[in-house]
Amino acid sequence: MKRVGIMLIQLLVTAAGLWYVFHDPQRRAQIAYALRHAELRWVLIGWICYSTVEILATVRWQILLRIQGIWISWLRAGAIVIIGLFFNQFLPGGVGGDAMRLYFIFKQAPRKKIRATLSIAMDRLFGLVTVVFLAGTSFALRFSWLARAGPSRHIAYVAFILLSASLAFVVLLLWLVNSGLLHQLPKRIPFREAIIQSGEALLRYRTHVAAMLFIFPITVVSHLAYYTSFYCAGESLRLSTYDHASLADILSIMPLVDTIISVPISLGGIGVRETLFQELLGNLAHVPPALAAFTASLGFAIQACWGLVGAAVFLASQKIFNR
């Protein structure tokens, strides 16, 4: 019942967000006009950019697996990553993809389940640290721009609070690991298992400094490629009569957007992402609200194309993993 309740809330937030940004007939007409004049080459470039994200995600996870002594082929690692993407997009909570990754890697390495779990925990931890790093960079370089309008200022403050909480989590985790108190956490503490798994992952991986130093820039490039796919989506809808967002604008707002939609209040961030784009790009880059919101939808659609590939791979998984 709790899971059903969460899903209903996510559906409600998603529907409310989409209605808020797209209910105006004039905005829908503006989107239709932009689509009729859209430059498909930018959509293709965006798709290529997002392809880089999944390739680098596979490289990162393979390194983390091999440090743990788990060896699988690149084809199978990539298949598991792309299947995880599909389930992350279409299951509530944003953790369905991790569950499916665990399911498939357990079948590949049944005697190394703990090590496989730690590889995914470390993968998640790298993603968290990277978003904190990129958002911190955005705040440091463009805070005055982000906070110059009322609605965008409020969004920036919300993102800052969430990022501060994330940074506090990382600092606490490091302290627990270094002090040897990881397993002494009270049983009633929220997310205790996730904290312990993340801490154990740090313990296992902290001796592989060279590999960690290599993985961090890979993860940064992966996030930047992901953000650039949204820039390409916006360029495909660009009309000469309106202002448009620069690449710097997109790279500045995306860490904030990513931070807020990481809270699973809607399905895949749909509705919330569009609302944030409308407020941020509309107020800061003077992009028409309809086009700003639809830029978010088109950027997500580019990502969802790879999610559909993940669905096809999942349907063919029996052939792929039984070879």
Cα dihedral 109, 113, 117, 123, rounded to 10, equals: -20
Residue 133 structure tokens: 């790093």
Residue 321 has pLDDT above 90, yes or no: no
DSSP 8-class letter at 25: H
CA 12/CA 9 separation, integer angstroms: 5
Residue 179 structure tokens: 């002090």
Q: Which domain holds residue 237?
A: 2-321
CA 183/CA 201 separation, integer angstroms: 13
Instruction: Give residue-wise pLDDT tens across range 197-231.
Output: 788 888 888 888 899 999 999 999 999 999 999 99
Shortest CA distance to 116 belongs to which of 85, 76, 86? 76
What average pLDDT score do residues 254-274 get?
Answer: 88
Measured CA to CA in angstroms, residue 187 lies from 93, 172, 196, 203, 293 at distances of: 23, 17, 11, 21, 43
CA 207/CA 190 separation, integer angstroms: 28
242: confidence class by pLDDT, cuts 50, 70, 90: low
CA 148/CA 168 separation, integer angstroms: 27
CA 15/CA 10 separation, integer angstroms: 9
What average pLDDT score do residues 45-65 get?
Answer: 95
Give the mean pLDDT of the chain: 88
**Residues in Cβ contact with 130 at an 8 Å cutoff, skipping those fewer than 6 apart:** 216, 219, 220, 222, 223
Shortest CA distance to 30 belongs to which of 242, 270, 285? 242
Residues 159, 256 contacting (CB under 8 angstroms): yes
State the total domains in the chain: 1
CA 34/CA 295 separation, integer angstroms: 11
Instruction: Give residue-wise pLDDT tens across range 182-201.
Output: 778 888 787 788 788 788 88
DSSP 8-class letter at 268: G
Question: In which element (H, E) is residue 316 found?
Answer: none
- Backbone φ and ψ for 185, nearest 5 degrees, come out as -65, 140
| Chain position carrying tokens 């784009």 | 277
pLDDT at 78: 93
Instruction: Give residue-wise pLDDT tens across range 56-104.
Output: 999 999 999 999 889 999 999 999 999 999 988 876 555 578 888 999 9
Measured CA to CA in angstroms, residue 201 lies from 40, 64, 125 at distances of: 43, 10, 9
- Backbone φ and ψ for 266, nearest 5 degrees, come out as -140, 170
- Torsion sign across C-alpha atoms 255, 259, 262, 266: negative
Shortest CA distance to 45 belongs to which of 225, 250, 280? 225
Shortest CA distance to 276 belongs to which of 226, 39, 262? 262
Residues 39, 33 contacting (CB under 8 angstroms): no
**Residues in Cβ contact with 261 at an 8 Å cutoff, skipping those fewer than 6 apart:** 269, 272, 273, 276
